[in-house]
Amino acid sequence: MPATVILGAQWGDEGKGKLVDRLAEQATWVARFQGGNNAGHTVVLGEQVLKFHLLPSGITRKECHLILGDGMVVDPWVLDTELKGWLESSGEDPKGDRLFISERAHIILPYHRFMDSLDKKIGTTGRGIGPTYADKINRVGLRFGDVAEVLGDDAWTTATVARMNASLEAAGAKDRITHENLAGNIQWIHDTYHHCIANTGLMLDNALKLGEHVILEGAQGCLLDIDQGTFPFVTSSVTSRGNATHGAGIHPGHVEEVIGITKAYITRVGHGAMPTELNDEVGEHMGTVGHEFGTTTGRPRRCGWFDAVVMRHAQRINGFTGLALTKLDVLGGLEELKICVAYELDGKEITELPSTASAIARCKPIYITMPGFPSLSLPEWLAMAASANKSGKGISMLPLAAQQYIAKLETLVGVPCTSVGVGPDRDATIDCV
């Protein structure tokens, strides 16, 4: 089977974890290909809420092998905490059995967290992601495959400590790195992970050649892409389709299906303009009903109406074959629904996303208005989803106004919906037919 790519189509937090968990039932591999523990993927299994930052969402499917891919930056201490939590809840330690870390993935060290904590402009998670990618680009980073090579190398440790402390001093940080601590960290990383560090690109390539199904799980979203996002208020990696295979260590010909995840409205965490942002009772409704708090940081998410300009940009960059619409239920109970179809920028109407942050900040949304649909309880949404999927009637089971809203989004973005989420639970998803 070919590979399936799952990508965020907005500013992240769209519900990728839930979809990956659901699709992983039919997969044998789930691989993360970029980012680090600045991601937050939530999976809800009845009363159990699982939150992952590094572990691929397919971990809930015991038959799935899990990959932390070439393009990732991995905090080994955060990963250890997640693995201990998983061991406690499931009784399983997957390291070296079904969880493997790419030898090419870069390591987040305490130095990187110290540097990231100085950010006051972008609104990063402070987890060391950007500084680790900066070291990667500067060709001074440490990869998991290099750990055994530098273990016990006093010259490397001395030079690395000197470089790190010079950077910390120049940046105005109070923290410093010691030779003893860095050497101890390298030893601990080797002792903890040496048995699960592997050529994961080769593993995925062989699996695909054998006809196995691979899911490539993205983190963040298209509008946070370092190249194609709302720079400089972006993440430090390429979040889009072009990096899915590259960051996993396989060629793009393996991919046949690319699913873009989008909420029925839009959210954003951190700094940067968001043209459809609502600072009123509707925005409060979305945030409250949708439980809009960041999985990684706990920060409240900014909420706004669906933005078709943003989504057309995401579609051009990624070439989605289908859209997975999430959190439709959150819009229930609103009398009318608005969709941004264009912007007014300096007195002119535009239909494409500007490239500069200052221009985006000056954009005023141009809306169309559609009728709302009733609010339902979670049990009612779950029952509707179960009935829709069992009968094969799909979204025709939804209220008419909800069907019309979905149809309009499909038309505006130019991509069909493959599924519609109507609640946080794994089973609160209606397959489109």
User: 80 with 192: CB under 8 angstroms?
Assistant: yes
Residues 59, 62, 64, 70: is their CA dihedral positive or negative? positive
Question: From CA 161, how far away is CA 150, in angstroms rounded?
Answer: 13
In Å, what is the CA distance from 402 to each residue of 93, 142, 375, 395? 43, 50, 11, 9
Residue type, 244: A
Q: 328 is written with which tokens?
A: 């439709």
160 exposed, middle or buried (CB, 10 Å; 0-12, 13-18, 19+)?
Answer: buried
Q: How far is CA 24 from the centre of its chain?
A: 16
Long-range pairs for 353-360 at CB < 8 Å and ≥24 separation?
353/230, 353/309, 353/310, 353/312, 353/313, 355/231, 357/230, 357/231, 357/232, 357/233, 357/272, 357/273, 360/230, 360/272, 360/273, 360/275
Known active-site residue 13: yes
Largest CA distance in the chain: 69
Known active-site residue 425: no
DSSP 8-state assignment for residue 143: B
Catalytic hit among 21, 41, 254, 307:
41
User: 284 with 137: CB under 8 angstroms?
Assistant: no
Catalytic hit among 13, 21, 116, 307:
13
User: Which residues are marked as active site?
Assistant: 13, 41
